[in-house]
Structure 1
């Protein structure tokens, strides 16, 4: 039985590698796949333009994707008045930008989470971050299902093989494993979003693991956004207590999987 299991896993890995294999130097996407990606970009751009056109005439030179704590502080200072007077436009604009960044793996969502805390407070901020992060991860999941296979194999071949093996071993307790990955920094969230459809993680498992698993980290980041002026660097977000708490939650979430994998005596 053990030999059969190993052979089956090896075969699955070989199939995954064959499906994701690309020729070095060749552009990994077809014309149709490029058109799909461009269509998604145009959809997000249309949403942002619609929000922009409904805002009052003003100087919006401060609007840009945040890349530092200073950028967040500038955005907060300028958006506070708009948030009270044009709440819907600010919330919609925030959601579109966050989901766009998640969908296309653009770094900086941690700064967007800080901004949510500074503008909306803890509870509304956490709800907004979890919603947008889950929507963006889901969007990335489905986009990757269409065009992501060659890209993932080109960017993360070793991680893809590792992830494929872990998913195959934990298929019966897959939700616990996805929760563990979301809570702890074992694998980057960006990689999980893109690779999950490729290694056959069902969407309902992916969705539930994302919604629940993102809450602890979102709470830590959003709470830090309220005291934005006290932060000196992004590293200040996670103190020893926060890291220990996240790992404890991660261990609890994966414990059923580990117990189920133990051979019965």
Structure 2
């Protein structure tokens, strides 16, 4: 007998990742609502019942860890105290997993999202009785989303082709839909990075590079994802030199647009040159 769909809340502030996760969950027959901030998540859980929450860890205003703390403290009513929460993050190290567990999350998945792992986690946590116990199966360190080695492809078409609704032909155009979303968001993300780098705002560069890393990997823009991952990693290590990032991001943007025949939107020229 077919099981009833689960009611899932997706909390993700990056538009491309949010859309991909929602479409995958819809594909598997679940009822999905999505919000783009921690505050909106608190309100959503207060207003409706959810079987499981998929929570981005790195959101701009209130991150996923703080949102989870508030849910577990009852700030969204009794529904937030026991609802299973699955962390979704581009950071794949044990220290990140431990931080998620410490605030009461139940499971830990990395971006770009693995479709099978997401589907299994939703079923595992969404259908088990709520006991208030927060247990996450062990994960080995996977490292950053873009591993060192051979130079990453400018664009890997197999990433979008592997989306289930594209692979089975039920929504063959979805790959182009999400790619359009990505290119629509790209000038804003890159413009923020370039402007922040030119003014020495390392925190904004690191935060925005984190978002760009995961959204780029989600659509197969692997060279851009690697560039963003490198920038984020260097800043996390405390390397304040941002002089090379504007020109490198601009170069990767031009390569990607050229390969896919997309218009190359003008980025802040002063920012590219000033570093």
- What's the TM-score once normalised by structure 1's chain length? 0.27
More strand by share: 2
The structure with higher relative contact order (CA 8 Å, sep 6+) is 1
